[in-house]
Amino acid sequence: MMSVLMPQELRRQILEEARLAHPAECCGLLEGAREGGRFRIAALYPARNLSSDPHRFEIDPRDRIAAQRRARERAAAVIGCYHSHPDGRAMPSIADRAGAGEDDFLWLIAGGEVLNAFVYSRGVFTGADWVTSSA
Ligand SMILES: [Zn+2]
């Protein structure tokens, strides 16, 4: 079973970025640590979306490199990404399936006020549960 622990403040930040980016998609990277099936998110790195297609996102590779460097400095790692779906569907799209590559990578997808978590591995997105307590 996979689960995700993230401060409410970061959840609000992603939903706000999604509102501001609308009708395009917002995107960014997630810093944290993975312990077995649990993803613990500690920070967000908003990124530029290079895609000209409003139904896709493409994280600027410079932003990815900068996020990886800062995460390493904090003894953490980039463990996932987030983006929004302006049509309100908080589920992986066909474009997401085509664009996903890294195994055991966390994907947060915002649609309206909903934020869902998925883990991509070997061609499949699997839903992950939110955990509200660090216990
Ligand atoms: Zn998507």
- CA pair distance 47, 76, nearest whole angstrom: 18
pLDDT of 71-126, one tens digit each?
A: 999 999 999 999 999 999 999 999 999 999 999 999 999 999 999 999 999 999 99
Query: Which of 128, 133, 18 is CA-nearest to residue 82?
Result: 18
**Domains along the chain with CATH numbers:** 3-131 (3.40.140.10)
Compute the distance from residue 135 Cα to the ligand 1 centre, in Å.
31
Output the pTM of the full model: 0.95
Does the structure show a pLDDT above 70 at 134?
no
- Mean pLDDT of all residues in 29-47: 96
pLDDT averaged over every residue in the chain: 95
Does the structure show a pLDDT above 60 at 135?
no
- Answer for the pair 27, 57: CB distance below 8 angstroms, yes or no: yes
Compute the distance from residue 96 Cα to the ligand 1 centre, in Å.
5
- CA pair distance 38, 67, nearest whole angstrom: 21
Strands 3-5 and 124-131: parallel
Q: What tokens does 102 get?
A: 């890294």
Compute the distance from residue 56 Cα to the ligand 1 centre, in Å.
6
Compute the distance from residue 93 Cα to the ligand 1 centre, in Å.
5
Compute the distance from residue 71 Cα to the ligand 1 centre, in Å.
24
Quote the pLDDT of residue 50: 96
